[in-house]
Amino acid sequence: MRLRSTAVLALAAVGAFSLTGCSHSTSTTAESASAPAAVAQPKSEPKPATAPLSSAALRDRLLNESDLGQGYARKPDAGEKRHDDVTLVGCPALDKLGGDAATGGSLDFANEAKATFTYNGDTDSEVSEELYSDTTDKLSKGTGQIFNAMTSCPTFQIVTGSTPVDVATQKISAPHLGDEQWSHLLTYTAGGQRSVVKQTVIRSGNTMTILTGAPALVDAHVEKALRKATSR
């Protein structure tokens, strides 16, 4: 399937961490992948809908160097990229999502803001933050569909031009933050080199926080990112 221009949540990490060349990375032991059972909640009056935050408001809530601490530097914004030469092979569930399963752009939510940081100038130690805002139903349903598709395809391949990148995904337990949480490890292999990337997604109300990057950096900053993203 020739992919279209909007981005799938997990595959968006490819542009930042794999398409520029995989690097060696120490493997990380995955946590338990079992999700907690749903618990029935007492009925309550529905809360009034809250309008999505604007992109400008989201930009003000992104992490910055002072939030992250010494050694971090923000990478220049590269702007929106299209990867029209990217093809996904071996994942029917992502294929079925159609336009939602493409790379090189943004998730199909109303408003967004993004930033990427390196640690001590090491491109192998990057962490990217994405903030999205939309209705709670759209955030929940859209993200759940993508993660379910990823879970159904533990391995698949992305071909960029003539370069194949093997992708392995592993669902892991996410921190109990916000209203909904998703997390997984993505292992990219190309040219005999391997890179492990962690992605954690937290929905809190009508705001979604995504951290993608070196597993240790994602774990270190996810709570701080969520606090700032949901500050009022």
CA dist 25 and 23 (Å) reads 6
What pLDDT score was predicted for residue 135?
Answer: 95
CA atoms of 201 and 151, how far apart (whole Å): 15
The rounded distance, in Å, linking the Cα atoms of 151 and 169 is: 7
When mean pLDDT is compared across 19-28, 45-54, 60-69, the lowest value belongs to 19-28
* Residue 131, strand partner residues: 113, 209
State how far the Cα of 202 lies from the Cα of 180, in Å rounded to an integer: 6
Q: Determine the average pLDDT of the residues in 205-227.
A: 95
25 or 73, greater pLDDT = 73
122 three-class SS: strand
Q: Answer yes or no: are the C-beta atoms of 203 and 140 closer than 8 Å.
A: yes
pLDDT at residue 219 tops 70? yes
pLDDT of residue 84: 58
Cβ proximity of 132 and 140 under 8 Å: no
> What pLDDT is stored for residue 101 in this prediction?
40
Mean pLDDT of 161-171: 90
In this prediction, residue 106 has a pLDDT band, given cuts at 50, 70 and 90, of low
Which range (39-43, 129-133, 153-157, 201-205) has the least confidence?
39-43
Query: What pLDDT band is residue 146 in, cutting at 50, 70 and 90?
Result: confident
pLDDT above 70 coverage of the chain, percent: 71
The identity of residue 128, as a single letter, is S
pTM score, whole prediction: 0.79
